[in-house]
C-alpha cells in the first residue's frame, strides 16, 4: 500500500469514528497535557487503534488522539508524538500531520520541551519559535517526489506562520505572560548534548535544542498548513556551568509551565479567525 493510501485509510477510519471537520490541530510535547482540560472531548482514540499510525514507545508520551471543541471550533489534539530516536523514519514521525491535514485542519499548534542554549532563557520560560535549524540528518519529504504530497520544493523562508505567531504574542500579552522568541535546533537524540555540542549549537545560531517539531513543521509547510510552535525551556545548557540533568527533572519542569502554555493555546484558538 502506498504512503498516500495509508494516509487516506487512517483519515477514513477517524472519520468513521466521528472525527469530522476539525479546524485546529494541536501537538502536545513532553510533560504537556493540561490543554486537554480546556477541550470538551467528544472522542478519544488510542494511536494503536488507528490504521498505519505509529505507536509511541516513550512512557511519558500517552499515545492518544482526542477530538472535541473549544468554543465554536473543532479541535483535534495529539497527546504524544513520535521521534527518530524511537526507531521511526521521518515519514512515520510526520505521518500524523498528513492525516490531520487530510481531515481538514486549517491551523497547527505545536509544543515541545527544549534545552535553553541562549543564556537569557531560564527553566520554565515559554519561547515562541521564530525559526529552526534541522540537524536530524534528513528530510521527511525525501523520496516523496510527487506534487500529490504538496509540492516537491516547499519554500522555508518563513516556516512559522506570521499571523499565528502574532496571535500568540497578543494573547500572551493579554495574559501578562512573558513569551520570548528564539531559534530551535532539532537533533536526533535520545542522548542529551555534550558541552562541545552546546557550544556548537550556540555558535550556529540556536537558542534552544530539542528532538522533535522540525520535521512536523517541514511537512506543514509542504502542505501549506499554517503552523506555530512554543517551547518550554526545561534545562539551562550553559557549557561552562553544565550540570547533570535527567528526564524526570525535564518532565517536572515542563509540568510547571503546562498550565500557562495550555491557557495560551486555548486563548489563541479562540482568536483564530
Sole residue written with cell 497547527: 108
Cα-based angle 193, 199, 205 (whole degrees, multiple of 5):
105
pLDDT of residue 20: 96
47 neighbors 55 (Cβ within 8 angstroms): yes
pLDDT of residue 61: 53
From 3.40.50.1580, 3.40.50.720, 3.30.1950.10, 3.40.47.10, which CATH number describes the 3-271 domain?
3.40.50.1580
Q: Which residues contact 161 (CB under 8 A, 6 or more apart)?
A: 107, 226, 227, 228
pLDDT of residue 59: 56
For the chain, how big is the Rg over CA atoms in Å? 18
Q: 99 vs 15, 40, 94, 215, CA distance in Å?
A: 11, 22, 9, 15
H-helix or E-strand spanning residue 12: helix 3-16
What does each of the 273 residues of the chain score in pLDDT, given as a tens digit? 899 999 999 999 999 999 999 999 999 987 788 999 999 999 999 999 999 999 877 655 579 999 999 999 999 999 999 999 999 999 999 999 999 999 999 999 999 999 999 999 999 999 999 999 999 999 999 998 778 888 889 999 999 999 999 999 999 999 999 999 999 999 999 999 999 999 999 999 999 999 999 999 999 999 999 999 999 999 999 999 998 887 788 888 888 899 999 999 999 999 997
H-helix or E-strand spanning residue 109: strand 107-116
The helices-and-strands tally (H runs, E runs) of the chain is: 7, 9
Amino acid at each position: 500500500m502506498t504512503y498516500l493510501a495509508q494516509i487516506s485509510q487512517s483519515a477514513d477510519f477517524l472519520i468513521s469514528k466521528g472525527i469530522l471537520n476539525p479546524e485546529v490541530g494541536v501537538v502536545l510535547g513532553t510533560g504537556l497535557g493540561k490543554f486537554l482540560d480546556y477541550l470538551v472531548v467528544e472522542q478519544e482514540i488510542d494511536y494503536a487503534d488507528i490504521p498505519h499510525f505509529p505507536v509511541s514507545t516513550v512512557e511519558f508520551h500517552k499515545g492518544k488522539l482526542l477530538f472535541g471543541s473549544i468554543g465554536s471550533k473543532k479541535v483535534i489534539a495529539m497527546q504524544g508524538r513520535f521521534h527518530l530516536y524511537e526507531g521511526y523514519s521521518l515519514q512515520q514521525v510526520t505521518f500524523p500531520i498528513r492525516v490531520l491535514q487530510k481531515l481538514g485542519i486549517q491551523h497547527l499548534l505545536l509544543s515541545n520541551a527544549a534545552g535553553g542554549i541562549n543564556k537569557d532563557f531560564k527553566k520554565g520560560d515559554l519561547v515562541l519559535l521564530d525559526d529552526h535549524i534541522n540537524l536530524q540528518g534528513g528530510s521527511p519529504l525525501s523520496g516523496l517526489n510527487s506534487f500529490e504530497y504538496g509540492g516537491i520544493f516547499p519554500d522555508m523562508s518563513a516556516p512559522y506562520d506570521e499571523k499565528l505567531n502574532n496571535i500568540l504574542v497578543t494573547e500572551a500579552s493579554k495574559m501578562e505572560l512573558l513569551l520570548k522568541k528564539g531559534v530551535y535546533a532539532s537533533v536526533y537524540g535520545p542522548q542529551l548534548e555534550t558541552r562541545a555540542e552546546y557550544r556548537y549549537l550556540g555558535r550556529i545560531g540556536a537558542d534552544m535544542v530539542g528532538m522533535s517539531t522540525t520535521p512536523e513543521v517541514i511537512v506543514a509547510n509542504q502542505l501549506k498548513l499554517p503552523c506555530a510552535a512554543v517551547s518550554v525551556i526545561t534545562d539551562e545548557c550553559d557549557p561552562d556551568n553544565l550540570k547533570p540533568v535527567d528526564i524526570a527533572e525535564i518532565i517536572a519542569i515542563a509540568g510547571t509551565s503546562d498550565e500557562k502554555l495550555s491557557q495560551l493555546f486555548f486563548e489563541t484558538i479562540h482568536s483564530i479567525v
